[in-house]
Structure 1
Amino acid sequence: MQGEIDRIAAEKNFSGVVSVDHAGDVELAQAYGLANRAYQVPNTLETRFGAASGSKGFTALAVLSLVREGVLDLSTTARSLLGDDLPLIADDVTVEHLLTHTSGIGDYLDEESDYDLTDYVIGAAHELTTTEAFLPLLDGHPTKFPAGERFGYNNGGFVVLALLAERASGVGYHDLVRERVLKPAGMTRTDFLRSDELPGDAAVGYLPIDGVDRSNVFHLPVLATGDGGIHTTAADMSAFWRALFAGQIVDDVAEVVRPRVDVPEEEPVQYARGFWVRGGTDTVMLIGSDAGVSFKSTHDPHTHTTRTVLSNTSDGAWPIARAISGGKW
């Protein structure tokens, strides 16, 4: 496998890390390209990469842990905690709808529209340092379809989930994820990093703009929230999957990853609560794509196999991810 991955990496000019392990035994772990092009800093296995929407699963787990404690309920309506905020969110939209992308609410970052990763779509990125700071961005988007009608991927819905979790628990979203997901999983190299003060072990995200590869610092919120953007490593993702399926994060994993809704894709794919599921299998996936970021981590609970690809370019992860997954989505 190593030779094939090396060939694809060279052909596609891959920048990132690829890892495959079985129950903690590493079969493949290799870094390619540069974490910082200006200073010629190479990627290593310890480099931290943005995960974009890959961290929606972490948001879901933090919310579900609050549900287990009775702080929230799956039937809790968004309106009951939003008050007068975001008035266009329908009264019947619940936590469950938001977790499964079936809320139908309007989205501030609508990936079903004519959206290009090189667009500057979030306005004053430097102001987005808290979940509450997203309220103006979330406001003013009309409902797309009635709650529960169908699947409709929704970034804003997971920001709303983070907001509901904060208001219900009285604890900030970032600390909820750290204490309820990262800590029990032993993810010591994973955290929310400000884009304007990335540490030296974090990869800068790059994307082509006007024929020049530039940093994604103006494309993403300065500090990630519920819809994605945490930084992590391949080793930490392996630790995450082992902890999740060992019941160390939540005690009813089967319910978390049980498919809830079909996703209209070319291949059979379903969605659980914060996690993708490969149709016809029990393989669970976290996937992220954004300006200067691409990420995919999959776990087969039967073989205990984890496959993770992290890249600091917008689409660099996909050829490698397909290769190590046998061409599957």
Structure 2
Amino acid sequence: MNLSLSIEDIIKKHNETLPFSGAILIKDKDVIFGQGFGFANRSERIENTLNTRFGMASGCKIFTAVAICQLVQNNMLTFDTYLKDCVDFSFPNFDAGVTIHHLLTHSSGIPDYFDEEFMDDFEGLWKALPMYSVQSPKDFLPMFQNKQMKFSPGERFSYNNAGFILLGLVVEHLTGLNFTAYVEKNIFRKCGMLDSGYFRMDQLPERTAIGYIDSEQSWRSNIYSVPIIGGPDGGSFATVYDLHKFWDALLNNQLLSPEYTNILLTPHIQENEHIYYGYGVWIMMIGNSIFKYYVMGSDPGVIMQSSVYAKSKIHAHIIGNINKGAGMIASKIDEIILC
């Protein structure tokens, strides 16, 4: 089977009904497929390329998890450390038993500022709290820190953005650095991810795609629909090439020791029949074997899925500046790889 031709066919069929806007890189030792689609700037008709930077939304939670694992590796805390012992903020209704492990695995039971089990209008958050006022992890706290627990720590998996905000605060408390500065220094620079960063929405650098929200009759940018700058739960920018550099560095133990890389990539908790979660990373299991590791994200004007297939070591990075497409394309690629 010619994998390159099969992927071209998948994307061609997808674009016939739902044109993708973004970039796709499929790579092992060599590039199997790589192409940009649509426009990074529709008004100026600037095309997306493989060197275009795109928002990652929640796809960058893995950076937060790596940061925490680095601190554990350096004996600055443990996965069993209680939240209450490593931040200076008050959470009057939180269970005292919430640990770092619970936060990393979305099993803490703390309230979320955007609970995806019950909410789907991310833009609606900023009607009460202007998006331009959310510029650091602590700025999220008024949205959830005084709310009641959803369930007891460790009881079950429930995807939780606020948990990763708290992990970012832990990084800041223990290192004395702003969270984004820590990640850029200790992850992006170590990987050679020179095109990646936490860019302000009102100060986007060159080669950065504008996120677009499409309706039936018009479109608009996402500048008023997401926080003005990303943080521990999402919002960094990267190219598909930088995503490849990140996974390559992670899997070759350049960011963590073999022991802690393995801990991060361990299926710690189950979401459904085939899907598990490690620390900041989704894991698809087929039978008793790991089929792929992946991260994914979706915000208004942002869609992405970045995968590494465990056996073949093939990378598939799909990242776009619209609301749909990455997951559907990724699932078709899964089918090809599985065969």
- State the TM-score, normalized to the length of structure 2: 0.91
Amino acid at match of 2:332: A
Return closer, same or farther for 1:328/1:140 CA change in 2, 3 Å cut-off. Answer: farther
- Is 1:48 aligned with 2:56? no
- State the TM-score, normalized to the length of structure 1: 0.94
> What is the aligned counterpart of 1:207 among 206, 213, 223?
213
CA distance in 2, matches of 1:245, 1:31: 26
> What is the aligned counterpart of 2:319 among 296, 310, 317?
310
Residues 75, 94 of structure 1: 8 Å contact kept: yes
Shift of 1:316: 2.5
Determine helix, strand or coil for the equivalent of 2:335. Answer: coil
Residues 16, 311 of structure 1: 8 Å contact kept: yes
CA distance in 2, matches of 1:328, 1:3: 14
Count of residues in Structure 1 that have an aligned counterpart in Structure 2? 325
CA distance in 2, matches of 1:163, 1:87: 17
In the other structure, the counterpart of 2:271 is: 263
> What is the aligned counterpart of 2:151 among 145, 158, 164?
145
Q: Structure 1 regions of 5+ residues with no counterpart?
A: none
> What is the aligned counterpart of 1:93 among 93, 98, 112?
98
In the other structure, the counterpart of 1:230 is: 236
Shift of 1:209: 5.3
Determine helix, strand or coil for the equivalent of 1:259. Answer: coil
Q: Structure 2 regions of 5+ residues with no counterpart?
A: 1-5
> Which sits farther off after the overlay, 188-197 or 3-12?
3-12
Superposition misfits of 4+ residues, deviation over 4 angstroms: none
Residues 79, 90 of structure 1: 8 Å contact kept: no
> What is the aligned counterpart of 2:295 among 281, 286, 294?
286
CA distance in 1, matches of 2:54, 2:38: 13
Residues 120, 218 of structure 1: 8 Å contact kept: no
Determine helix, strand or coil for the equivalent of 2:33. Answer: strand
Pairs within 5 Å for 1:57-72? 57-72=62-77
- Is 1:134 aligned with 2:143? no
Residues 109, 153 of structure 2: 8 Å contact kept: yes
Shift of 1:208: 3.0
Shift of 1:171: 1.5
Shift of 1:235: 0.8
Residues 15, 33 of structure 1: 8 Å contact kept: yes
Return closer, same or farther for 1:20/1:199 CA change in 2, 3 Å cut-off. Answer: same
Determine helix, strand or coil for the equivalent of 1:162. Answer: helix
Question: For each residue in 1:4-41, what CA deviation from the matched residue of structure 2 results, as whole angstroms up to 9, or x when unmatched?
Answer: 32332243111011111013x10000110011112211
Pairs within 5 Å for 1:97-112? 97-112=102-117
CA distance in 2, matches of 1:286, 1:26: 20
Question: For each residue in 1:30-75, what CA deviation from the matched residue of structure 2 results, as whole angstroms up to 9, or x when unmatched?
Answer: 1100111122111111100111100000100011101111112111
Residues 48, 189 of structure 1: 8 Å contact kept: yes
Residues 25, 31 of structure 2: 8 Å contact kept: yes
> What is the aligned counterpart of 1:121 among 117, 120, 125?
125
Residues 306, 316 of structure 2: 8 Å contact kept: yes
Question: For each residue in 1:218-247, what CA deviation from the matched residue of structure 2 results, as whole angstroms up to 9, or x when unmatched?
Answer: 111111010011101111111111111110
In the other structure, the counterpart of 1:183 is: 189
CA distance in 2, matches of 1:83, 1:199: 34
> What is the aligned counterpart of 1:79 among 77, 84, 87?
84
Return closer, same or farther for 1:33/1:296 CA change in 2, 3 Å cut-off. Answer: same
> What is the aligned counterpart of 1:158 among 160, 164, 172?
164
> Which sits farther off after the overlay, 296-305 or 147-156?
296-305
- Is 1:32 aligned with 2:40? no
Amino acid at match of 2:58: S
Residues 214, 322 of structure 2: 8 Å contact kept: no
Residues 54, 288 of structure 1: 8 Å contact kept: yes
Determine helix, strand or coil for the equivalent of 1:236. Answer: helix
Residues 34, 42 of structure 1: 8 Å contact kept: yes
CA distance in 2, matches of 1:327, 1:143: 42
Shift of 1:327: 7.2
